[in-house]
């Protein structure tokens, strides 16, 4: 009787079909993409790297897709300390200008990460999304006029794969 009760409870709470029927996206796949995102973000400007705050986080959401998030300070600046008691106006301008200049490269890197994720995450169904979100860090003294607080890019995996294949075809035809 007890076995019958447990079986009926489980059948009533599980969706039609088995959990085993779903995508086989495992933690190792997500971790590989997290490390890849961190490496790409820190490698954009090797001589003067952006600061990735913490580590990137990824997850797979059944029915939606794979989502990767990170927080980045595009231009490191000296904070207030006993040796640097105030932020000068020229430092505010310099930090803002540097962040504005770096936005295009950040967006390009995010697009590349979407393509890489779509190619690598074979277990994500083609109709599900791959998303990359970057939150941008700002000190309270910073001017962030014209700069976003967050950039989120996403597309269905099949669209990303088609774009990657078209890009490769274009590169191949440009070589002749």
DSSP state of 152: E
What is the C-alpha separation between 23 and 13, in angstroms, rounded? 20
Q: Per the structure block, which two tokens stand in for 14?
A: 């599980």
Is pLDDT of 168 > 80?
A: no
- Choose between 1 and 83: higher pLDDT: 83
Q: Which carries the bigger pLDDT value, residue 84 or residue 131?
A: 131
What are the helix and strand counts (H, E) for the chain?
Answer: 4, 5
Given a contact cutoff of 8 angstroms between Cβ atoms, the answer to whether 34 and 60 are in contact is: no
DSSP string, 27-42: HHHHHHHHHHHHHHHH
| C-alpha–C-alpha distance, residues 79 and 51, integer Å | 14
pLDDT at 174: 44
Do residues 162 and 116 lie in contact, with contact meaning Cβ atoms separated by under 8 Å?
Answer: no
Split at pLDDT 50, 70, 90, the class of 20 is low
């Amino acid at each position: 009787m007890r076995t019958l009760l447990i079986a009926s409870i489980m059948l009533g709470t599980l969706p039609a079909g088995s959990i085993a029927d779903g995508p086989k996206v495992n933690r190792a796949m997500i971790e590989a993409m997290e490390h890849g995102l961190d490496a790409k973000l820190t490698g954009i400007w090797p001589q003067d790297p952006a600061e990735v705050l913490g580590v990137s986080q990824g997850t797979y959401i059944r029915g939606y897709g794979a989502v990767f998030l990170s927080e980045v300070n595009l231009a490191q600046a000296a904070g207030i300390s006993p040796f640097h008691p105030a932020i000068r106006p020229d430092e505010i301008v310099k930090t803002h200008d540097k962040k504005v200049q770096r936005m295009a490269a950040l967006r390009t890197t995010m697009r590349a990460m979407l393509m890489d994720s779509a190619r690598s995450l074979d277990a994500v169904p083609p109709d599900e999304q791959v998303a990359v979100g970057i939150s941008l860090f700002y000190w309270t003294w910073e001017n962030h006029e014209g700069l976003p607080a967050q950039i989120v890019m996403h597309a269905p995996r099949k669209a990303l794969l088609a774009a990657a294949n078209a890009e490769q075809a274009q590169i191949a035809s440009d070589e002749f």
